[in-house]
Amino acid sequence: MQHVAVNPWVALAYLVAGVCFILALRGLSSPTTSQRGNRFGMIGMGIAVVTTLVTHVPTITVLVEGYDYAALLSAVDTLAVFEIVAAIALGAAIGITTARRIAMTAMPQLVAAFHSLVGLAAVLVAAAAFLNPVAFGIATPVLTPDGGFALINPVSRIEMGLGIAIGAITFSGSVIAFLKLNGNMGGAPILLPARHVINLSVLAAIIALVAYFTLDQNPWVFWTITALSFVIGFLLIVPIGGADMPVVVSMLNSYSGWAAAAMGFTLHNSAMIITGALVGSSGAILSYIMCRAMNRSFISVIAGGFGAATAAGGADAAKTDRPWKRGSAEDAAFLMSQAEQVVIVPGYGMAVAQAQHVLREMGDKLKAEGVRVKYAIHPVAGRMPGHMNVLLAEANVSYDEVFELEDINSEFAQTDVAFVIGANDVTNPAAKTDKTSPIYGMPVLDVEKAKTVLFVKRSMGGVGYAGVDNDVFYRDNTMMLLADAKKMVEEIVKALD
């Protein structure tokens, strides 16, 4: 099948699509402009898809040597168009159904699943290009006594090797992340013996084979790179604990972008290159921001997750034997209604209980009684970057009331009530005081400085993803509200009435 020569209009269309993607990222940087950002992203992707289809699926009508190739080639093109349209329709149906049915609490799992699909797509495209390089325009046919073969361009081999390696790592790593986020695997790190030596050895082997692939396109080299990349993706994510999942999700997002960019070079598609580079770079920047939020280096996250040494931090079940105070919904309602300022700290427990809507209702009732209500967001609260922001936005919480850690932390000392709903590790003062704690050095919300801390938790027996007990539970100014988060807030709303 022939390809239409690239013309300025095609380049212009891809440029417009790229600008739309940039505007989409800019819009998604703030909850107030996120819907506009999504629209730009949809428009850009629509332009890119239509342009690619028009460019790469032409109708060929030529006669050669009296043979009617037109009918044959037209039939091939018709079949190709049908297959593409069917694939788009199937993907759209799955996407629309998933988007309508997925709960906001399962959004991290959905993101991890989408990353795995992007990685798998990169692997499949690279495999198709390797098996039929002439069709992709990346090889030169070479005649030999035994029939001949297609000699893949050395630069294309580099692109192909990097694309399939990053794509395979993204796929297997995202699958493990999905299983951890979905509860099919435990959130605690799974530490293999000599894991650093194994990981470094496998990574070194992949790099060496990609370099060798530029000299020898033997199939065993290509498929060995693929197999080792799938393995290292699994090995890299298994030792990472639940507390580091926001960084992992962001990191895999970056990987999926670079895999798409590499395949864009192989396919000579500038839209894929632009899109992949934007996703890859933005994901890398976000990973860096997440690591800074936890006061950890990117290498330390990859080397092993929080919770690898919980025993050293003294976070055992014995701490739950310490005295603590239990309160009721009526107690919480009275304390908050008498306060001048209440700071609400949401965490993954709120997400699991889907309590964001009733939480906003509670905030509205407190504001009606003259109480200042603010929401404090930790960068890694939940299981993906911005998880709490998305949930509060879904509940129509005013953006003016939502504050990040660095903007709200200084206010806790002047706050009457800190209402913590399902947030453990991000409020744990051990991160500031206990050098043996696995979360030591991570910036946390200083809720313990408030005059009163109301802590919503299912039971005293559980700990956060880091496996570390929270000293705030046992302080004199803390009242524990033990119940399902949504049920407790509903009871508080009734008490406020």
Which CATH number is 347's domain given? 3.40.50.1220
Asked if residue 49 belongs to a domain, the reply is no
Say which residues have a Cβ less than 8 Å from residue 437's Cβ, sequence separation at least 6. 312, 313, 314, 315, 428, 430, 431, 468
Residue 200: per-residue pLDDT: 87
Whether 112 contacts 181, CB under 8 Å? yes
What domain count does the chain have? Answer: 2
pLDDT band at 251 (very low <50, low <70, confident <90, very high): confident
Assess whether pLDDT exceeds 50 at residue 332. yes
Predicted confidence at residue 78, as pLDDT, reads: 61
Q: What is the DSSP letter of 205?
A: H
Q: Could you tell me if residue 433 is inside a domain? A: yes
Q: How far apart are CA 166 and CA 279, in angstroms?
A: 14
CB atoms within 10 A of CB 346: 31
316 pLDDT more than 60: no
What whole-number percentage of the chain has pLDDT above 70? Answer: 83
Q: What was the pLDDT predicted at 478?
A: 92
Q: HSE on the CB side for 30, CA within 13 Å? A: 9
Domain assignment of residue 209, yes or no: yes
Determine the Cα–Cα distance for residues 459 and 439; give it in Å rounded to an integer.
22
Q: Is the pLDDT of residue 7 over 70?
A: no
In angstroms, the CA 270 to CA 10 distance is 10
Which domain, by its residues, includes 358? 317-496
**What value does the mean pLDDT of the chain take?**
81
Same domain, 218 and 262: yes
Q: Is residue 80 part of a domain?
A: no
- Residues 269, 292, single domain; the answer is yes
Share above pLDDT 90 across residues of the chain, in percent, rounded to a whole number: 27
Q: Tell the residue number behind the tokens 């803390």, with chain if given.
A: 478
The pLDDT, as a whole number, for residue 454 is: 95
Q: Which of 122-136, 158-172, 217-231 has the lowest mean pLDDT?
A: 122-136
Kindly state whether residues 436 and 453 are assigned to the same domain.
Answer: yes
| 256 shares a domain with 359 | no
Residue 464 — pLDDT band, cuts 50, 70, 90? low
Q: Is there a domain that residue 402 lies in?
A: yes
Q: 466 near 431, Cβ under 8 Å?
A: no
Same-domain pairing of 227 and 278: yes
Angle between helical axes of 387-394 and 107-131 (0-180°, round to 10): 120
Domain boundary among 284, 308, 332: 308
Q: Within a 13 Å sphere around the CA of 287, how many CA atoms are in the beta-carbon half?
A: 22
Q: What is the pLDDT of residue 155?
A: 86
Least confident of 121-125, 264-268, 473-477: 264-268
Q: Would the pLDDT of 469 be above 70?
A: yes
262 and 138 share one domain: yes
Is the pLDDT at 135 greater than 90? The verdict is no
Q: Decide if 425 is catalytic.
A: yes
pTM of the model: 0.74
- Say yes or no: 291 and 337 in one domain: no
pLDDT, tens digit, 9 for 90 and up, residues 14-73: 889 889 988 988 887 776 787 888 899 999 988 988 887 777 654 433 444 444 444 544
Please report which confidence band the pLDDT of residue 419 belongs to, taking 50, 70 and 90 as the band edges. Answer: very high
Return the closest-CA partner of residue 495 out of 332, 326, 325, 327.
Answer: 332
Mean pLDDT score, 400-415: 91
Same domain, 133 and 189: yes
Q: For position 442, what pLDDT does the model report?
A: 81
Among the options 244, 416, 425, 471, which is catalytic? 425
Query: Does residue 24 belong to any structural domain of this protein?
Result: no
481: pLDDT confidence band, cut at 50, 70 and 90?
Answer: very high
Q: Are 334 and 359 part of one and the same domain?
A: yes
Q: Are 284 and 247 in contact (CB under 8 A)?
A: no
Predicted confidence at residue 462, as pLDDT, reads 65
Among candidate residues 256, 285, 308, the one where a domain is terminated: 308
User: Stretch 335-358: mean pLDDT, rounded?
Assistant: 91
Radius of gyration of the chain, Cα coordinates, nearest whole angstrom: 27
User: How buried is residue 53: exposed, middle or buried, by Cβ count under 10 Å (0-12/13-18/19+)?
Assistant: middle
Q: Do both 213 and 341 map to the same domain?
A: no
29 occurs within a structural domain:
no
Question: 149-152 and 139-142: which strand pairing?
Answer: antiparallel
Predicted local confidence at residue 420, as pLDDT: 94
Residue written as token pair 């600008």: 19
Instruction: Please determine, for residue 118, whether its predicted confidence score (pLDDT) is greater than 50.
Output: yes
Do 168 and 231 have their domain in common?
yes
Please check the confidence at residue 127 and state whether its pLDDT lies above 50.
yes
CA nearest neighbour of 467 among 306, 258, 359, 263: 306
- Among the candidates 283, 308, 333, a domain finishes at 308
Residues 197 and 346 in one domain: no
9 assigned to some structural domain:
no
Residue-level length of the chain? 497
